Amino acid sequence: MDDYKFIRTILERMLHQLGYQNLRTAVDGVEALKLLRSQPVDLVITDYHMPEMDGINLFQSMKQEPILAKIPVLLVSGVPTEKFATQALAMGIQSTLTKPFRAEQLDQEIQSLLTQSLC
C-alpha cells in the first residue's frame, strides 16, 4: 500500500520480478482494511506516510481483528530515521525498510516474515 501510484507500480513490478503473484494494492490504510477483510493475504507491505490512515494506524487496526492480527507487516518509509524503525518495532511491527531499497533487500525481508509467520 502506498498513496503514490508510481511507487505502487514500481513495487508491484519488483515483486513480480521476484516471483510473487496475486498481488493486491491499495492507496491508503482505509482501502487496505477493506481489501484485507474481503481477500486473504499472506503479507502486508505498507508505507508509513499515507492520507486517511497511515501505516502505523493500519497496523493498529489490523491488531484489533483476530484474523488480520496474524498477517505479518512490512512497514516502509522514505524518511530514514532510527526513531521510525524503533517506534515501529516497539509497536510490534515485524520489519521495516527505508526507501529506496533494492529488490534483494525486499525479498530478504519478505522471506524472513513469511518464515516467521509459519512458526
- Buried residues in 39-62 as b, exposed as e (16+ CB within 10 A): eeeebbbbbbebeebbbbebbebb
Alpha carbon 46 to chain centroid, angstroms? 3
Cell (9 digits) for 113:
516474515
CATH of 5-118, one of 3.90.550.10, 1.10.10.10, 3.40.50.2300, 3.40.50.2000: 3.40.50.2300
**Tell me: the pLDDT tens digits for 76-114?**
888 766 777 788 888 888 888 888 889 999 999 999 999
How many angstroms separate the CA atoms of 59 and 44, rounded? 9
Residue 8 — pLDDT band, cuts 50, 70, 90?
A: confident
Domain boundaries, the chain: 5-118
